[in-house]
Structure 1
Amino acid sequence: MTRFILRRVGQALIVLLVMSFVIYSLIGLMPGDPIDVMIASNPGATPEVVAHLRAIYGLDQPIMLRYWYWLVAALQGDFGFSRTHSQPVLEVLGPALLQTCKLMFASFILSVLLAFALGVAAALKPGGIIDNIVSLFAFAGISVPVFWLALVMILVFAVQLHWFPASGISTVGDGGFNDYLRHLVMPVTTLALANTGHFTRFVRAAMIETLRMDHVRTARAKGAGEGRIVMIHALRNAMIPVVTVMALSFGSLFSGALITETMFAQPGMGKMIYDAILGNDFNLALTGLLFATLVTLLSNLVADLAYGWLDPRISL
């Protein structure tokens, strides 16, 4: 187990190194740079001043050399300075990461619980009424655009019923724990519903396949109860293919919740990366994308470890 984890961590570091160069190169190829933005706000700058600024920031050097200087500084914990926020990158990244973690964990747990409950209920009687209702809900969740779902949530629960605030993370003058939870309800629900349909389809398909296997028929022949068959004999085996999908979705939530964060004015990782790219804030965009890559790699590692726990026959 230890050798496997160390080997996978080594592979993850290699992938992270390669991705850092790829992302750095792609960002470097984008039109414009921080100096161009500065010139746009100060059109009277002379070519000599522009050349001097490029030399100060190292933008007159080859991209390989610039990448090497960035990598050496990053390995020492210095990820640069955010131009748009006028702060070190890590100080800007921290609050956005914390907000995304709250949204992600809450929505992920809610969507997983709903998906397993609905998927198992649908798989017990394929083609029945419950299966048709669950399938309709799942297809609706997959098909409905996230921005439309967010707008409906705001219109119904914020504008019409006044149950929850429409946006933000706290009410001015309040900022208490209950107030903070009220601001999380709608974005968490939107993210959860957007993922539940996708997860439910996989849980249903895996459970139907598992319930038809020989060991389940043998358990029924021995007189095992339906609850024991589902929870002990079927669900654990059905989780193996589902874990892969959930692990990949877990990683993408760190940078892929841009629409939800924008609609509900949540200052998370997705919106931060998007704003950094639009504002030519290269250091912040690069660090945010690399962190999203790291989370995806760690999610895959957790999924591999979960395989061995779910099925001891799987060798790490």
Structure 2
Amino acid sequence: MLRHIFSRLIQSAVVLAVMSFVIYSLIGLMPGDPVDLMIAHTPGLTAEDQRRLRELHGLDQPLLGRYLAWAGNVLQGDLGYSRLQARPVLDALLPALGNSLILLVASLAVALAIALPLGVLAAMRPGSVFDTFVNMIAFAGISMPVFWLGLMLIVVFAVLLGWLPAGGVETIGGGGLADRALHLVLPVVTLAVAGTGQYVRHVRAAMIEILRQDHIRTAQAKGCSRRRIVMHHALRNAMIPVTTILALDIGAMFSGALITETVFAYPGMGKLIYDAVMGNDYNLALAGLLLATAMTLAGNLLADIAYAWLDPRISYR
């Protein structure tokens, strides 16, 4: 296992290096650059000023030379300076990273806490009224637009009832841990509803397939209780495909919760990356996108480890 983890870490480093060049090239080929934006907001700049600004930011160099200079600085721990945030990139990333991790962990925990029991119970009674009801809920969660759900939650719980804040991270002036938790309720519910339907469908399908296999019938013939068969023999194997989907969702939710973060004015990584790309903030966009790539790779590595834990027959020797 350790050898496999070390091999995957090397592969991840190679992928990050390749992706850094691809992302840097794509951003570098976008029309306009930071100096063009400065010129647009400062029309009094002379041609000499423009030339000196491009030299200062290294924009007079070829694309490959600029990338190598940026990569050398990153290896030394210098991610550069964010023009939009007017502070070092690391200082801009850390608050957004913390907010996104809290949102990601909370929404995944809520989605799995609902999806696992519903999927298992539906699989134990396929074709029943309860199974049909669970399938309807799952299809509704999958089909419901995230932006519409977020807006409806704001209208009902923030505007009409006034129970919860409509957006943001905390009340101006700071309200403590309880206040931050209240601000998390609506965005977490929005993301959890979108994920619950998907996880319910996968858990149900995997459980139905596994409950029909020979080793389950053998356990029944030996007199094992229904609870033991479901929890110890079936659910553990059914979690393997769910783990795959979960690993893929980690990277997608980390960088792709843009709609939810925009609706609730939540300052997370999705909105930060979007603003950086649209504002041609090279350093911030590169760091954010590479961090999202690293989260996806980390999720897949954790999935590999979880496979071996869930099924002892899986070996990476």
Tell whether the structures are fold-level matches, with TM greater than 0.5: yes
Q: In angstroms, what is the RMSD of aligned CA positions? A: 0.9
Match of 1:23 in 2: 23
d(CA) in 1 for partners of 2:33, 2:97:
25
Q: Give the letter aligned to residue 10 of structure 1.
A: I
Identity between Structure 1 and Structure 2 (%)? 60
Match of 2:271 in 1: 271
Q: Is 2:64 the counterpart of 1:64?
A: yes
d(CA) in 1 for partners of 2:167, 2:298:
31
Structure 1 ranges of 4+ moved more than 4 A:
none
Match of 2:194 in 1: 194
Q: Is 2:105 the counterpart of 1:140?
A: no
String of CA shifts for 1:119-160, please: whole Å, max 9, x gaps: 111111111111111111111111110000001111111111
SS at match of 1:85: coil
SS at match of 1:141: helix
Count of matched residue positions in the alignment of Structure 1 and Structure 2: 316
Match of 1:83 in 2: 83
Q: Give the letter aligned to residue 167 of structure 1.
A: G
The structural deviation recorded for 1:60 is 1.0
The structural deviation recorded for 1:66 is 0.4
Match of 2:114 in 1: 114
SS at match of 1:212: coil
Q: Is 2:258 the counterpart of 1:249?
A: no
The structural deviation recorded for 1:173 is 4.0
Q: Is 2:313 the counterpart of 1:313?
A: yes
Match of 2:168 in 1: 168
Moved more, 76-85 or 53-62: 53-62
Match of 2:36 in 1: 36
Q: Give the letter aligned to residue 267 of structure 2.
A: P
d(CA) in 1 for partners of 2:174, 2:275:
28
d(CA) in 2 for partners of 1:90, 1:6:
27
The structural deviation recorded for 1:74 is 0.1
d(CA) in 2 for partners of 1:117, 1:5:
32
SS at match of 1:275: helix
d(CA) in 2 for partners of 1:250, 1:54:
38
Q: Give the letter aligned to residue 204 of structure 2.
A: R
The structural deviation recorded for 1:106 is 0.6
The structural deviation recorded for 1:44 is 2.5
* 1:95-134 matched pairs, under 5 angstroms: 95-134=95-134
Match of 1:234 in 2: 234
Q: Give structure 1 stretches of 5+ with no counterpart.
A: none
Match of 2:208 in 1: 208
SS at match of 1:166: coil
d(CA) in 2 for partners of 1:30, 1:130:
52
The structural deviation recorded for 1:172 is 2.5
d(CA) in 1 for partners of 2:3, 2:210:
32
String of CA shifts for 1:184-203, please: whole Å, max 9, x gaps: 11111111111111111111
d(CA) in 1 for partners of 2:281, 2:174:
33
The structural deviation recorded for 1:50 is 1.2
Q: Give the letter aligned to residue 74 of structure 1.
A: V
String of CA shifts for 1:213-259, please: whole Å, max 9, x gaps: 01111111222111111001100111111110011101211111111
Moved more, 168-177 or 27-36: 168-177
TM-score scaled by length of structure 1: 0.98
Moved more, 83-92 or 223-232: 223-232
The structural deviation recorded for 1:174 is 4.6
